[in-house]
Amino acid sequence: MKLYDFALAPNPRKVRVYLAEKGLTIPLEPVDIVSGANRSPEFLATKNPLGGLPVLELDNGTCLTESLAIIEYLEELHPEPPMIGRMPLERARVREAERLCEIGVLLNVATIFQNTSPFFASRLKQSAEAAENARPRLAAALWVLDKRIDGQPFVCGDRPTIADCTLFAALEFASFGGIPIEPAASNVHRWWEAFKQRPSAQV
């Protein structure tokens, strides 16, 4: 297997954090988004027709193109240590939290970044209104997560799960983009500072 990757993008980082937490090693193949390598005819034809990253190329040459699908595929192959949970309700709660981190935090951070960063000024039609609409959605998701994390070391309890991988990638992307995380979300900040000390945070 091979993982097509871009170091600064949040979705590839989410997968790299997951791999590190699982103790899995998959060769990485860097793809330069800035130069448009992910939009080359060859990449679109053979790896991902939408040009997104990460992409997991399997041993038979076929590709998986969504970060969550990649993670769940690898979790099926390597169930220990469990990072989605063991019992049905536990697995549902982890998936629930991961979607909150993805849709509530990462998606809104990305919307703000894409609509305010000079990098995207010549790449898409930016909308100040879209960015401003995303800010209260981000704040609401952080408020829910802050309550969920209260009193526990990880998003879903006493061990890391895929929700932690997604939230860490989202918050690090917010930091990269200069997007502030509500200071009142003290549990989120406490969790973030603690997770930064884990070896997986260095990938």
Which 3 state secondary structure label does DSSP give 99?
helix
Identify whether residues 99 and 190 lie together within a single domain. Answer: yes
Contact present, 88 and 96 (Cβ < 8 Å)? no
For the chain, how big is the Rg over CA atoms in Å?
17
Identify whether residues 39 and 97 lie together within a single domain. Answer: no
135 domain residue, yes or no: yes
Contact present, 69 and 63 (Cβ < 8 Å)? no
> Could you say which of 77, 96, 121 is where a domain stops?
77
Question: In one letter, which amino acid is 68?
Answer: L
> What pLDDT is stored for residue 120 in this prediction?
87
**Residue 42 DSSP label:** H
**What is the residue range of 193's domain?**
88-202
**What is the Cα–Cα distance from 112 to 115, expressed in whole angstroms?**
5
83 domain residue, yes or no: no
* Count of CA atoms in the C-beta half-sphere (13 A) of 63: 19
Angle at CA of residue 132, ends 97 and 8, nearest 5°: 60
Identify whether residues 112 and 176 lie together within a single domain. Answer: yes
> What pLDDT is stored for residue 124 in this prediction?
86
> Could you say which of 25, 57, 77 is where a domain stops?
77
Q: What is the total count of domains within the chain? A: 2
**What is the Cα–Cα distance from 31 to 39, expressed in whole angstroms?**
10
82 domain residue, yes or no: no
For residue 169, give the CATH number of its domain: 1.20.1050.10
Identify whether residues 119 and 168 lie together within a single domain. Answer: yes
**Residue 36 DSSP label:** T
> What pLDDT is stored for residue 123 in this prediction?
82
Identify whether residues 92 and 72 lie together within a single domain. Answer: no
137 domain residue, yes or no: yes
Contact present, 82 and 23 (Cβ < 8 Å)? no
> Could you say which of 77, 97, 117 is where a domain stops?
77
Identify whether residues 96 and 194 lie together within a single domain. Answer: yes
Identify whether residues 122 and 160 lie together within a single domain. Answer: yes
Other beta carbons within 10 angstroms of residue 116's beta carbon come to 20
> What pLDDT is stored for residue 168 in this prediction?
98
Q: Helix/strand/coil (H, E, C) string of 165-202?
A: HHHHHHHHHHHHCCCCCCCCCHHHHHHHHHHCCCHHHH
Task: Please list, in sequence order, all residues whose beta carbon lies within 8 angstroms of the beta carbon of residue 94, skipping any fewer than 6 positions away.
Answer: 83, 84, 85, 156, 161, 162, 163
Listed as ranges, residues in the chain with pLDDT below 70 are none
For residue 14, give the CATH number of its domain: 3.40.30.10
